A and B are shown apart, each in its own frame.
Chain A
């Protein structure tokens, strides 16, 4: 028995869809407020008050949308794979639902990152698309998301679909660093790195603080969308459970 107590109690409680529905219901308003505040402050500061870039002028300001979206696309994949692993190991229904809810959010943010990257590329590089290492690995990340969504929708049984997509997400997780490095090395054979945020020597605080605010804001935004999707998913799957009926009756008045 002693060996079983090493996981905290809330971890097991999260496995209960009902408990999870209630706790996300309590957390949701706070995250909505945080998202709105952070994204508004970050956007206004970044777009209106941050100084111009000495080389790119105002066109660099798309960074405030591009970088958070790109970060999120990667973080959401990690979340999805982690939730999938938890679902596989502990057979937790809620973890399966989290993994399923992550995929469309991640895919849309990957599309956003690619689209903003293309728009940014036109004034900076002179073309919408360059086969740059970062662009290519983000495109492959999008393909992985699309594959996971396709597999999930192809399998009818919900538990099988969740387990299969979890395996695929984990295989993809192993592959992501490999893809990243292979694409990096492949690219250097052809053209040198053109523009990397990590390599820009001195970004004044006025530029990176709004960016940081927006990154945190996007994390909160992800939390909000994830919780909303998760709550829908819980209600849909548990529609035959007594507590869902009671809840719906209450809401109907």
Chain B
């Protein structure tokens, strides 16, 4: 009796091979498809980005000379806050409908699945933010020379923000009031990206070489890609089992 029951399991084990490439593409496809079906979630961070940037001319001063000096920091801080806003939902719906447990139970490496989810999340939030940043930079009178620095630094910096933010999202996924807590956990960890990002924009504005700052941002990204998925996977296992 027991042998006949065990057989299907053995077949299943035989069929599931480790295919990191395929599971990565499948995760990416699924996440993007889900995001495209919830358009409002896609647009909300962008609107938030625009609104935060609008607050500064109203709150500080509409003077172009003042805004010009503030622009790199304001655009970066606004981008950072909008990625944080979208972070809370990264694992929440999967956690609520139980698919997160299935992902954890699957024999595929969690590292790859998590990386796929984070990259999909970046394509939905970080990439549109990067593309929209020049518009806000123009509104804040950032000199035209600074644009290349702004777009490049955001392009390299926002994936790191998504990776680090996902650690916070994974740690708080089981909690009802995760939203505020995520910002408390993640914002201190965002500081290096913010510093190097705004430094790159400042360098571009003043005509100094950009490569050094961009290389540092790239180094942070490389470190994030290599280590953050491990922490995210560990945090997910803890959150789901608890």
Contacts and interface: CB of A to CB of B under 8 A. Distances in A.
Interface of A: 88, 140, 143-144, 146-147, 150-151, 154-155, 157, 159-160, 163-164, 167-168, 170-172, 174-175, 178-179, 182-183, 185-186, 189
Interface string B198-242: 010010000000000000100010010001000100110011011
Contact of A151 (B171, B189, B199, B202): B171
Interface of B: 164, 167, 171-172, 174-175, 177, 181, 184-185, 187-189, 191-192, 195-196, 199, 202, 216, 220, 223, 227, 231, 234-235, 238-239, 241-242
Given A147-B185, A151-B185, A164-B235, A179 B192 contact: yes
Given A170-B231, A171-B167, A171-B231, A151 B238 contact: no
Contact of A168 (B174, B185, B223, B242): B185
24 contacts: A140-B188, A144-B188, A144-B189, A147-B188, A150-B184, A151-B172, A151-B181, A154-B172, A164-B238, A167-B171, A167-B235, A171-B167, A178-B192, A179-B188, A179-B191, A179-B192, A182-B191, A182-B195, A182-B196, A182-B216, A183-B195, A185-B195, A189-B199, A189-B202
B227 A164 contact: no
Contacts of A167: 167, 171, 231, 234-235, 238
A143 B239 CA distance: 22
> Main secondary structure on chain B at its contact with chain A?
helix
Contacts, number: 81
Contacts of B196: 182
Contacts of B167: 167-168, 171
